[in-house]
Amino acid sequence: MDYQTHISVQNLNVHYGNQQVLKNITLNIPDRKITAIIGPSGCGKTTLLKSFNRLIDSVEGVKISGRVLVDDENILDPKTEVTHIRKKMGLLLQKPYPLPMSIYDNVAYGPRIHGIKNKKRLDEIVERFLKKASLWDEVKERINQPASMLSVGQQQRLCLARGLAVEPEIILGDEPTSALDPQSSQRIEQTFVELKQDYTIVIVTHILRQARRMADYVVFLYLGELIEHGPAWDIFNHPKQALTREYIKGLIS
């Protein structure tokens, strides 16, 4: 394939101490689609996701080899400036972690860091991205209240707006709905589907039905190995590998 995708993983190996968590992963993540990384717990899903924006750096005793290219730049290169890589990606964690400040300041946090000081522009940005995360109508009256006063579902949408406000091209989600009630989960899923027109989205999920509902492309990991990847329809209906078949049937978890 000549065409270079936003994120391209080449021979990625990750060790935590003596344990090898990811074994020689090579993978292109398709642009402007939702890619779901699935697999049983402890298979390295989150590690793979966190290697995309190098949050993996803060894990104790981690050793990484191989290359992760984001827009043709090897982000694992120690010379790469990591804040600029991270600016390209919004991240949603399992549990929403709003920053200890107001709703407005949460969304404005990223843009301010990256140098936007003009109050008018910040106002626009905050409104635009809260709307994009479909939170605006619920919070426009209390934009200066602490973010911690929102419900968990709203907090997760706030975290999405906050991530979008740095204008990334990629959105990473590490089981972004696992702490939410079904209704809030649904809203997040909907928002993701709307966003895929403009963004490359990668989510880790252990909920197969969620992957079925949302994903265009599926990556199946098992015990640190990339077993199979391909368009969602193929993976769910005609898996090539026996392991994938068993996992999709719910025989292994």
Query: With binding defined as CB under 8 A, does residue 87 bind another protein?
Result: yes
The span of 63-71, 96-104, 121-129, 208-216 binding another protein (CB under 8 A) equals 96-104
Q: Name the amino acid, one letter, at 90.
A: G
The span of 131-139, 144-152, 175-183, 235-243 binding another protein (CB under 8 A) equals 144-152
Q: For residue 115, which phi and psi values (nearest 5 degrees)?
A: 100, 5
Q: Which of 6, 86, 132, 187 binds another protein (CB under 8 A)?
A: 86
Range 166-205, binding another protein (CB under 8 A): 166
Q: 91: which strand partners?
A: 172
Q: Which of 159, 160, 201, 211 binds another protein (CB under 8 A)?
A: 159
Q: Please report the DSSP string for 171-219 in residue order.
A: EEEESTTTTS-HHHHHHHHHHHHHHTTT-EEEEE-S-HHHHHHH-SEEE
Count of CB atoms situated within 10 Å of the CB of 193: 14
Reduced to 3 states (helix: H, G, I; strand: E, B; else coil), residue 122 is helix
Instruction: Evaluate whether 25 touches 12 at the Cβ level (below 8 Å).
Output: yes
Cα distances from 109 to residues 188, 203, 211, in angstroms, run 21, 23, 31
The kind and range of the H/E element at 247 are helix 242-249
Q: What x/- string results for residues 101 through 130 when contact with another protein is judged by CB under 8 A? A: xx------xx--xx----------------
Query: With binding defined as CB under 8 A, does residue 6 bind another protein?
Result: no
Half-sphere exposure of 102 (CA within 13 A, CB side): 11
Query: With binding defined as CB under 8 A, does residue 91 bind another protein?
Result: yes
- Rank residues 12 and 161 by Cβ distance to another protein and give the closer one: 161
Compute the least distance from the CB of residue 11 to another protein, in Å: 25
- Residue 47 neighbours by CB under 8 Å, 6+ apart: 14, 21, 22, 56
Q: 200: which strand partners?
A: 170
Instruction: Evaluate whether 203 touches 176 at the Cβ level (below 8 Å).
Output: yes
Q: Which of 1, 41, 60, 72 binds another protein (CB under 8 A)?
A: 60
Q: What x/- string results for residues 24 through 53 when contact with another protein is judged by CB under 8 A? A: -----------------------------x
Q: Which of 44, 163, 173, 176 binds another protein (CB under 8 A)?
A: 163
The span of 16-24, 92-100, 195-203, 213-221 binding another protein (CB under 8 A) equals 92-100
Q: Which of 147, 188, 211, 227 binds another protein (CB under 8 A)?
A: 147
Residues that bind another protein (CB under 8 A): 53, 55, 58, 60, 83-84, 86-87, 89-91, 93, 95, 97-102, 109-110, 113-114, 146-148, 159, 162-163, 166
